[in-house]
Amino acid sequence: MTRAFTFPGQGSQAVGMGRELAEAFASAREVFGEVDDALGQNLSKLMWEGPQEDLTLTENAQPAIMAVSLAVIRTLEKEGSFVLSDKAAFVAGHSLGEYSALAAAGSFTIADTARLLKRRGQAMQRAVPVGEGAMAALLGLEFDQAAEVASEAAQGEVCAAANDNGGGQVVVSGARKAVERAIEIAKTKGAKRSMLLPVSAPFHCSLMQPAADEMAEALGGVDLKSPSVPLVANVTASRVADPATIRDLLVKQVTGMVRWRESVLYMEAEGVSSFVEVGAGKALSGMVKRIAKEPEILSVGTPGDVEAFLKTI
């Protein structure tokens, strides 16, 4: 069986995330400690105790979601002699999850990944003043239809498809008024439901260019090794292993669309039949189920999940 390991993005955060892992495994506690030390912040306390509104802040949610994913990977390695490169054909992550995937595959250290994601979150928040941008989910429209809706709604402002999540779920991003127009237009095009998302900035559109420029600088100062497992990149929906190319794609990813549907189809075409979501929540598992044909889907985020998964390998 050919497996791909996937890593979730923003929206998967919840108060209490990772606490059971830390209580059950010293290896997980080590990871949370490394992240806290790298950031000079007691992020693990915020993850476990809240408040939710602080955890949801982009600069906190991004490193927190990564920390849980890497705590799972470290625990699999320590508890079951798990070696990612022996078990995975590909790694892939949704938006910030791409950093988690690369850290899992040894491209970044956990400390560098935490600092990069903290800065990424801050840069994305700074790029557009609060209230001026928005994102909306258009449900029940295929990608081409949603892209047409975004184009029609733009009217000289920015409005573009940001996440192609598959199964008739496309997220658009841009100037708030343009995104609000997209919601209304989508209703006339047959969308089952369209709604604004509770995010603080319009991710994955051209309004994020200042954040992309900042991440180019940040990534330029960090050691980036070739991953032990090829990455299926958000921007290209195809494999990449060259460090210079990965660095370039991580910069482009800030303004570029997350091509998740195409990424899953690419991995399936390459022989992947089992998708393992690593970390908090099961959002990616739901997406994969809508995209791939009869995939095996596993989620590994709790001590029980870890123990069950180790019995399968």
Active-site residue set = 95, 204
Distance between CA atoms of residues 176 and 182, nearest Å: 10
Q: Structure tokens of 133?
A: 């941008």
Q: Is the CB of residue 95 less than 8 Å from the CB of residue 256? A: no
Tokens of residue 231, six digits: 């990455």
Q: Give 3-state DSSP helix, strand, coil % of the chain, rounded to 5.
A: 55, 15, 30
Phi, psi at 128, each rounded to 5° = -135, 125
The CA distance from 88 to 105, in Å, is 10
239-240/231-232 β-pairing: antiparallel
Phi, psi of 274, deg, nearest 5: -130, 130
* C-beta neighbour count of 28 within 10 angstroms: 27
Strands 133-139 and 193-196: antiparallel
Following DSSP, what letter does each residue of 270-311 receive, concatenated?
TT--EEEEESS-SHHHHHHHHHSSS-EEEEE-SHHHHHHHHT
Assigned token pair, 116: 């990069």
Query: What letter would DSSP give residue 205?
Result: S
With beta carbons less than 8 A apart as the criterion, state whether 241 and 159 touch: no
Comparing CA positions, the residue from 97, 74, 12, 14 lying closest to residue 48 is 14
